[in-house]
Amino acid sequence: MDGDPEVQGRGVPTTPVTRVFVVAPTPMARAGLRSMLDSAEGTGVEAVGGAASLSTSDPALADADVLLVLGEDLLDEAAPSFPGDDHQSVLLLAEDEGAVSKLRAHSPRGWGILPPDAPQEELEAAVVAVARGLVVLPDALAGRLFGNLQDFGEPPEPLTSRESEVLGLIGRGLSNRMIATELHISEHTVKFHISSLFAKLGVGNRAEAVSRGARYGLISL
Amino acid sequence: MDGDPEVQGRGVPTTPVTRVFVVAPTPMARAGLRSMLDSAEGTGVEAVGGAASLSTSDPALADADVLLVLGEDLLDEAAPSFPGDDHQSVLLLAEDEGAVSKLRAHSPRGWGILPPDAPQEELEAAVVAVARGLVVLPDALAGRLFGNLQDFGEPPEPLTSRESEVLGLIGRGLSNRMIATELHISEHTVKFHISSLFAKLGVGNRAEAVSRGARYGLISL
DNA sequence: CGGACCATCGCCCGTTCGGCTAGTTTTTCG
DNA sequence: CGAAAAACTAGCCGAACGGGCGATGGTCCG
């Protein structure tokens, strides 16, 4: 279980110092965040710089492991010159969950979202975690994101391969005739499969079928 | 920004020791995980016990802040006597993302999933983060979970409140007439709103509208 | 072998949908 | 205040939808 070359002694901290660059619109916010980070000793977190926007030429920005960004707005502006290319993580302080997709689009490494009023302990833990490439979310946000997705388990009855196929094409907006052409079958057969999968999903029309299908995870959206 | 009564000196570690109880099927796995946790000094992580199953009477179990569980199976068995009531977090080591809903059903506090072969640094960081009530996921898993949901950002044009309302009802399978009754408006008005949101979403029928609406995150499914 | 299941095809019929044009009222905002 | 946007209403019509009836081949399995 340990062929690793890590023969380090106990005195050497295993946390190799996490450098954080603070991006916040006001000097006060920057100072507050930096002090919260610097007062954390054991965690090896260190604030290396700060700026009011992401499009800065501060050399400390390039050195940072984690970008701590206050506010969703600061993420939009700097979309082009976003430095979080491949080795930097981003921790965003924002309430809104709409920023999830923006974050994911930017930083392929670790990322996270935290409410702006998060206590210092959560902030430290989140910084360290995203620096390790993990994804961190507050419990409430995770509940909202996942809760609607797959709280329900399997569909009541499993769909046949043909039915799943038809359901997928329905979700892409195809009419019965187009589905028939696509699958090289008759339009009547398409209607038959649709009736079957409607019965299995317990729905009465295509819109609801797509909705339920997506919730059960058997549609690719 | 700091009316808090935390006037602690710098010598006092802000991380108040995170107690971890390791649950793994084999003694070797337990020993390996405990040694990985205990060799982390600065983080304040401490392994306080271990067992082969969750349904144990080890007093250390009640003392733990975090339950580190190896394998999805161990979660299923102990569903009834699951101790993670309200103050304990659960970090699950598993590949499969199917355990997300199970985890969420159990522990209302912090939780997380990590691949079993995660390096020590990720393990430490994840333990601390979930102990603080956060949700932690590996990047790849988060990508898969969110990817289907809202990879694309905003819709081309934002929907009006009425249009969003109508779209939601469409996703629940309601006909135009039922929507009209539900919203106390005319059926013609419903059709008008539908035409508008179709144009904004770039779709031609309700099924595709639900599909796109779900992908853009503006439908509750 | 016979039954169960899946997939295929056909017709009829009432309902719903989606687009079209053409208005009014309310709200929002410059 | 006046303009613009949003919300609301109306009728018409072709196309699509969804359910009902029945029928024909496959395949798998007891």
Q: How far is CA B146 from the centre of its chain?
A: 11
Q: Which residues of B79-95 are buried (b: 16+ CB within 10 A; e: fewer)?
A: eeebbbeeebbbbbbbe
Closest listed residue to residue B132, CA positions, set A144, A128, A93: A128
Cβ contact A220–B148 (<8 Å): yes
Query: Residue B190: its pLDDT value, please?
Result: 92
Closest protein residue to C19 (Cα–C1'): B195
Structure pTM?
A: 0.66
- Mean pLDDT for all residues in chain A: 79
CA distance B20 to A188: 60
pLDDT above 90 covers a percentage of chain B that reads 22
CA distance B8 to B10: 7
E strands of B24-116, at which residues?
45-51, 66-70, 89-93, 111-114
The partner residues of B19 in beta bridges, in order of sequence, read B46
Cβ contact A137–B138 (<8 Å): no
The amino acid occupying position A218 is L
Q: Is the CB of A188 under 7 A from strand C?
A: yes
Q: Residue A126 pLDDT more than 90?
A: yes
Q: Which of residues 176-215 of B touch strand C (CB under 7 A)?
A: 176-177, 191-192, 194-195, 198, 204-206
CA distance A130 to A106: 14
Query: Residue B57: its pLDDT value, please?
Result: 75
The amino acid occupying position A62 is A
Residue A147: its chain B contacts at CB < 8 A?
104
Q: Residue A156 pLDDT more than 60?
A: yes
> For residue B219, how many C-alpha atoms fall within 13 Å in the half-sphere facing its CB?
33
Q: Tell me the nearest-neighbour CA distance from A43 into chain B, angstroms.
A: 6
Assess contact for A200 and A154: CB atoms under 8 A.
no
The partner residues of B20 in beta bridges, in order of sequence, read B47, B66
Q: Residue A74 pLDDT more than 60?
A: yes
Pairing of strands B89-93, B66-70: parallel
Closest Cβ opposite residue A210 in set B1, B100, B207: B207
| pLDDT range class, residue A144, cuts 50, 70, 90 | low
CA distance A170 to A192: 14
Helix (H, G, I), strand (E, B) or coil at B29: helix
The partner residues of B51 in beta bridges, in order of sequence, read B23
CA distance A90 to A108: 10
Q: Residue B170 pLDDT more than 90?
A: yes
Q: Residue A172 pLDDT more than 50?
A: yes
Q: Tell me the nearest-neighbour CA distance from A58 into chain B, angstroms.
A: 27
Least confident of A34-38, A129-133, B102-106: B102-106
Q: Is the CB of B173 under 7 A from strand D?
A: no
Phi then psi for residue A96, to 5 deg, are -75, 140
Strands, sheet with B111-114, edge to edge from the N-terminal-most edge strand: A45-51, A18-23, A66-70, A89-93, A111-114, A134-138, B134-138, B111-114, B89-93, B66-70, B18-23, B45-51
Q: Residue A185 pLDDT more than 50?
A: yes
Q: Residue A58 pLDDT more than 90?
A: no
Q: Tell me the nearest-neighbour CA distance from B80 into chain A, angstroms.
A: 19
Q: Tell me the nearest-neighbour CA distance from B55 into chain A, angstroms.
A: 25
CA distance B166 to B174: 9
Tell me: the pLDDT tens digits for B192-220? 999 999 988 889 999 999 998 887 777 76
Q: Give which of A102, A211, A216, A219 to mutate to test B binding, by max B Cβ within 10 Å.
A: A211
Assess contact for B72 and B100: CB atoms under 8 A.
no
What domains, with CATH codes, occur in chain A?
18-144 (3.40.50.2300), 161-215 (1.10.10.10)
> B197 CA, C27 C1': separation in Å?
20
As ranges, strand D nucleotides with an atom below 7 A of a protein CB are 6-11, 16-20, 22
Q: Is the CB of B193 under 7 A from strand D?
A: yes
Helix (H, G, I), strand (E, B) or coil at A105: helix
Residue A79: its chain B contacts at CB < 8 A?
none
> A188 CA, C10 C1': separation in Å?
8
Helix (H, G, I), strand (E, B) or coil at A80: coil
Cβ contact B210–A210 (<8 Å): yes
Q: Residue A1 pLDDT more than 60?
A: no
CA distance A189 to A179: 10
| pLDDT range class, residue A179, cuts 50, 70, 90 | very high
Assess contact for B134 and A122: CB atoms under 8 A.
yes
Closest listed residue to residue B170, CA positions, set A206, A150, A214, A194: A206
Residue A124: its chain B contacts at CB < 8 A?
14-15, 128
CA distance B128 to B119: 15
DSSP run (H or E) holding B192? helix B187-201
Tell me: the pLDDT tens digits for B108-137? 678 888 988 889 888 989 999 999 989 998
Phi then psi for residue A12, to 5 deg, are -75, 120
Query: Residue B105: its pLDDT value, please?
Result: 66
> For residue A187, how many C-alpha atoms fall within 13 Å in the half-sphere facing its CB?
5
> A190 CA, C5 C1': separation in Å?
17
Q: Residue A94 pLDDT more than 60?
A: yes
The partner residues of B113 in beta bridges, in order of sequence, read B92
CA distance B129 to B23: 18
Q: Which of residues 43-72 of A touch strand C (CB under 7 A)?
A: none
CA distance A195 to B166: 25
Query: Residue A101: its pLDDT value, please?
Result: 66
CA distance B86 to B92: 17
Phi then psi for residue A76, to 5 deg, are -70, -45
Phi then psi for residue B109, to 5 deg, are -95, -135
CA distance B208 to A35: 50
Q: Please name the nucleotide lying closest to B185, CA to C1'.
A: D8
Closest listed residue to residue A131, CA positions, set A65, A207, A205, A186: A65
Least confident of A7-11, B177-181, B190-194: A7-11
